[in-house]
Structure 1
Amino acid sequence: MSNYRMTLIVGGREINIPVLPAKLNVSSPGKNERVTVLDLGEVLLLRKKGLRILSWESFFPADSAPYTTGQVRDPISIIQAIQKARDSKTPVRFLITGTDLDCNIRMGIESFEYEERSGELGDLYYTIKLYEWKDISPKKIVLPKKKKKPAKTKEPVRAGKPEKKSKTYTVKKGDCLWNIAKKFYGKGSDYTKIYNANKGTIGKNPNLIYPGQVFTIP
């Protein structure tokens, strides 16, 4: 039994139980339900077990003694640490090592009482009850980031050839389509281009044009 240890981890601080209790009470009450069924009578519905409960009585000695195990610390500082965890609703961790029934359980302090007895100055006697604690806070799920696909590079839009703007010409006295074509195209025989583009203005006879008429020069 020399390796048997009971330990409380309170707020990151490891508290050794220096005087092992004469009895450690461990219970896990069932949640089974008895109901009455027509024609069958009373039946038992099996449910999941309840939370584990641990309780014991002992004392924190002011000094080391042959019956103490592990490190002996100031009883008042230990009492204050346990009270602080209880009042702040902070879970603690209870460990038993050195036996075939090793355990490591997160628990909440249900009750904690202590007293100082006459004739035993500095020793603090206590009773403690712990309930198994389960974390039910919502857990944050981190989804893997999707890899962004490289953006497709757009091919530059090739600019088309600029459209040629049609020119206009206002007929003057003495003009004919031959002379106008020669002026714009370099040869009079291309007058048909001007005529075909302005047939609605000129009419059926390409030889009859009048001053002031405006022709489109294609």
Structure 2
Amino acid sequence: MEIWLNNENDKIRFPILPTSFKIVTAQQNTAQNVHRKGEINLLGEKSLETVELTSFFPAKEYSFCQYKGFNTNPYFYANKIKDWKNKKVTPRLLITGEPDINMCVSIEAFEYGEDDASGDVTFTISLKEYVTVEYSKPKKNTKAGKKVKKKKIKKKRSSKAKKTTKYTVKKGDTLWGIAKKKTGKSSNWKKIYKKNKSVIEKAAKKHGRKSSSNGHWIYPGTKLVIEK
């Protein structure tokens, strides 16, 4: 298992796996009393998932750390997370293996401090699933309250296929960064993954992984086709 917080090219991989983590998923159901039936339950929509992680940032490379070469200043990570929270950054949470989580999150709360003289910084971080909402502009009304009808202009259908461009993955690339650079929106990473799923998964297996974890693992030299 690996746990990451990714803000496009700015990433945090937790050196120590959490002592505990909790995932909460709920449903917006409503209980109602019906005549001669009693209480019934009206099923609603799914609530946003929440995740709580408890671990610590080590002040040195212990033998049980997940990997080597990380920054051994625990406050480097603590200050980065606090800065993301204050700037309303919504990073992507990735937990590989089981339970295999890959979702955009908001940082709801971040508690950290030192428990002993080791210099390690313990923390508890509370995250909540973040969904981007796009609003459409309301139609303009006349002074009399009638809707203004706009003349429909018939557009000639183009017989040309969608424009595409080719991109070769470089070291340090992520699908979110590539989507931002090539399409202007990091949220288009899903379209790029679906378009190139076979080559991305093939590259992941070639490097000894069971899967790319929905495009999290991409490798230099992989050739992608991107729709503009």
TM-score by length of 1: 0.59
Alpha-carbon distance in structure 2 between the residues aligned to 1:28 and 1:63: 35
Name the counterpart of 1:17.
Answer: 14
Checking the alignment, whether the CA contact within 8 Å between 2:23 and 2:49 is kept in structure 1 is yes
Checking the alignment, whether the CA contact within 8 Å between 1:24 and 1:54 is kept in structure 2 is yes
Alpha-carbon distance in structure 2 between the residues aligned to 1:125 and 1:16: 15
- Asked if 1:116 corresponds to 2:114, the answer is yes
Percent identity over the alignment is 30
- Asked if 1:96 corresponds to 2:71, the answer is no
Alpha-carbon distance in structure 1 between the residues aligned to 2:98 and 2:128: 22
Alpha-carbon distance in structure 1 between the residues aligned to 2:135 and 2:117: 51
- Asked if 1:105 corresponds to 2:103, the answer is yes
Checking the alignment, whether the CA contact within 8 Å between 1:95 and 1:104 is kept in structure 2 is yes
Give the greater-gyration-radius structure (CA). Answer: 1
Could you say what the CA RMSD is over the residues aligned between the two structures, in angstroms? 2.2
Superposed CA offset, 1:9-40 (max 9, x none) = 13631101111012210011221110001111
How far is the alpha carbon of 1:101 from its aligned partner? 2.5
Alpha-carbon distance in structure 2 between the residues aligned to 1:113 and 1:64: 23
Alpha-carbon distance in structure 2 between the residues aligned to 1:19 and 1:61: 8
How far is the alpha carbon of 1:138 from its aligned partner? 3.5
Alignment of 1:19-58 (within 5 A): 19-58=16-55
Superposed CA offset, 1:33-82 (max 9, x none) = 10001111100001112110000211000111111113422321211111
Which amino acid is the alignment partner of residue 106 of structure 1? C
The alignment partner of 1:9 has SS state of strand
Superposed CA offset, 1:146-192 (max 9, x none) = 45xxxxxxxxxxxxxxxxxxxxxxxxxxxxxxxxxxxxxxxxxxxxx
Change (3 A) 1:126 1:100: closer
Alignment of 1:159-198 (within 5 A): none
How far is the alpha carbon of 1:83 from its aligned partner? 0.7
Checking the alignment, whether the CA contact within 8 Å between 2:95 and 2:101 is kept in structure 1 is yes
How far is the alpha carbon of 1:139 from its aligned partner? 7.4
Name the counterpart of 1:8.
Answer: 5
Alpha-carbon distance in structure 2 between the residues aligned to 1:14 and 1:139: 33
Checking the alignment, whether the CA contact within 8 Å between 2:25 and 2:48 is kept in structure 1 is yes
The alignment partner of 2:79 has SS state of helix
Alpha-carbon distance in structure 2 between the residues aligned to 1:131 and 1:66: 32
TM-score by length of 2: 0.56
Alignment of 1:119-134 (within 5 A): 119-121=117-119, 123-134=120-131
How many residues align? The count is 139
Change (3 A) 1:76 1:100: closer
Name the counterpart of 1:64.
Answer: 61
Alpha-carbon distance in structure 2 between the residues aligned to 1:23 and 1:80: 22
Alpha-carbon distance in structure 1 between the residues aligned to 2:10 and 2:18: 21
Alpha-carbon distance in structure 1 between the residues aligned to 2:17 and 2:34: 49
Checking the alignment, whether the CA contact within 8 Å between 1:107 and 1:131 is kept in structure 2 is yes
Alpha-carbon distance in structure 2 between the residues aligned to 1:100 and 1:76: 29
